[in-house]
Amino acid sequence: MLSFRARHLLFACLASLITAPEAGAAPLPVLRIQGSNTMGTELLPALVQGLFVSRGLSEVRTTPLGADNEWQVIGHAPQGPALQAEIDAHGTATGFAALATGSADLAAASRPIHPQEQAELYGAADPAATGTEQVIGIDGLAIIVHPGNPLRSLDAGQLANVFSGTVTRWEQLVVPLGPIHLYARDNRSGTWETFRDLVLAPRGLTLVDSAQRLESSAQLSSAVSQDPQAIGFIGLPYVLSSRALAIGDNEARPLAPTTDAIATEDYLLSRRLYLYTAPVAANAWATALGRFAQSEAGQRIVAEQGFVAQQIHAVAVQPAAGMPERYLALAREGRRLTVNFRFAGASASLDSKAMADIERLAGYLQDHPTERQQVVLVGFGDTKSEPGRAQLLSHLRAMTVRRELTRRGITPREVVGLGEQLPVASNAYESGRMRNRRVEVWVH
């Protein structure tokens, strides 16, 4: 029997010669996706359906396979056999493992690839630089409670203490509800790994053993919504009947997981959604799905499924006490665009998502000629040991974005560096410092 990949290649070579489907023939598998449950339950089937329709397939439908969180998408070509994509959504880690063994063509991940996984799959190559990693949307981990819980916000430190078992009763958070019941995703979940890496690990804490662990995002949300003493964490589309809390981080004010706060990645628990292809000889359908997901049609599907698309729009910002004078003027008179550029360490280099965002920003400004003449770039940094270094780096990063826009025929009217001012996360941890190293885009 031919292997999956051999059958796929055979179809790719002979598709133009097939004039009619064989009666009763089984659908021809052309794409296998494994990984994130957050993405795989609804988003990935919807994206595959969109891709199939865009390629002229008809009667496109998604049906469950035999096991939970496993799906098939089937579409009928005008000529030739029906085509099938298979989606197994059992957690981000399972996607990388399947890609390594060749049992998947795409890994769906709700967190970045770990160094060990990257070394096993890609060796010394950087998947972000080679195009094998693509960011297809933004999500925010929502910290959810029962809708009757009066609590409205938590600091990240309090949140860590709750899930590590240091805080065990709601009364310790000034809420008269008794013992706290914890709900968490399972160990294979990218949602769990994101929560661990952003909340627990920076503080040297681990998840308490008494937490109830669930594979299904929808099941976790449902359990929290029915338990008045519950708290859990989940991807944004799965808040459902629960209620999400605003999350702060020391000097950074609490932010609710709104679309705009997640789009700019200012919300503390925002995260990127990824697709990873094989390092060599990538399946043509896998490559096509990544491109479709990045397209305008694909980004509409991302938004329709409850995630945050990478489309840009302008929003008003409420002036607030403590804003530097120039920033306060922008808040009063200008509007902020829903795109941020972030940087690693002392770097002023743009990553793969940032370069894609440059193209999106250039396209937006080309379509809005008035705003094109009013662009102001505002750079920020984390705290530095040397006085003035954060200020210098924040200005250099804004200049990096300016240079890329200028290459595309757009010259910002002003570049501002505000150093370590207005943090959106704590500078006590690298994850927070990384979030603070950013360039905002304003029109004024």
Q: Environment class of residue 243 by beta-carbon count within 10 Å: exposed (0-12), middle (13-18) or buried (19+)? A: middle
Do 224 and 146 meet the contact criterion of CB atoms below 8 Å apart?
A: yes
DSSP state of 36: -
DSSP state of 392: H
**181-219 core/surface letters (b: 16 or more CB in 10 A; e: else):** bbbbbbebbbbbbbbbebbbebbebebeeebeebbbbbe
CA angle (112, 117, 120) in 5-degree steps:
145
Do 336 and 315 meet the contact criterion of CB atoms below 8 Å apart?
A: yes
Q: What is the pLDDT of residue 346?
A: 63
The residue type at 115: P
Question: For residues 415 and 81, which has the higher predicted lDDT (pLDDT)?
Answer: 415
Q: What is the mean pLDDT of residues 283-310?
A: 95
Q: Is the pLDDT of residue 17 over 80?
A: no
Q: What is the mean pLDDT of residues 85-98?
A: 96
Q: Which residue has the tokens 């990045």?
A: 294
Q: What is the pLDDT of residue 385?
A: 65
Q: What is the pLDDT of residue 213?
A: 97
Q: What is the pLDDT of residue 302?
A: 97
Q: d(Cα 152, Cα 244) in Å, to the nearest integer?
A: 8
Q: Is the pLDDT of residue 16 over 60?
A: no
Q: Is the pLDDT of residue 92 over 80?
A: yes
**428-442 core/surface letters (b: 16 or more CB in 10 A; e: else):** bbebbbbbbbbbbbb
Q: What is the mean pLDDT of residues 154-164?
A: 97
Q: What is the mean pLDDT of residues 271-300?
A: 93
Do 93 and 316 meet the contact criterion of CB atoms below 8 Å apart?
A: no
| Domains identified in the chain and CATH numbers | 4-135+272-304 (3.40.190.10), 139-260 (3.40.190.10), 312-443 (3.30.1330.60)
What average pLDDT does the structure give for the chain?
91
**What would the pLDDT profile of 371-410 be if each residue is shown by its tens digit?**
999 999 999 998 876 768 889 999 999 999 999 999 999 9
Q: What is the pLDDT of residue 345?
A: 61
**What would the pLDDT profile of 171-220 be if each residue is shown by its tens digit?**
999 999 999 999 999 999 999 999 999 999 999 999 999 999 999 999 99
Q: Is the pLDDT of residue 12 over 50?
A: no
**What would the pLDDT profile of 322-359 be if each residue is shown by its tens digit?**
899 999 999 999 999 999 998 766 667 787 788 889 99
Q: d(Cα 84, Cα 61) in Å, to the nearest integer?
A: 10
Q: What is the mean pLDDT of residues 69-82?
A: 91
Question: For residues 160 and 9, which has the higher predicted lDDT (pLDDT)?
Answer: 160
Q: What is the mean pLDDT of residues 230-244?
A: 96
Q: Is the pLDDT of residue 8 over 70?
A: no
CB neighbours (10 Å) of residue 112? Answer: 21
Mode of pairing for the β-strands spanning 414-417 and 375-380:
parallel
Percent of the chain with pLDDT over 90: 80
Q: What is the pLDDT of residue 1?
A: 39
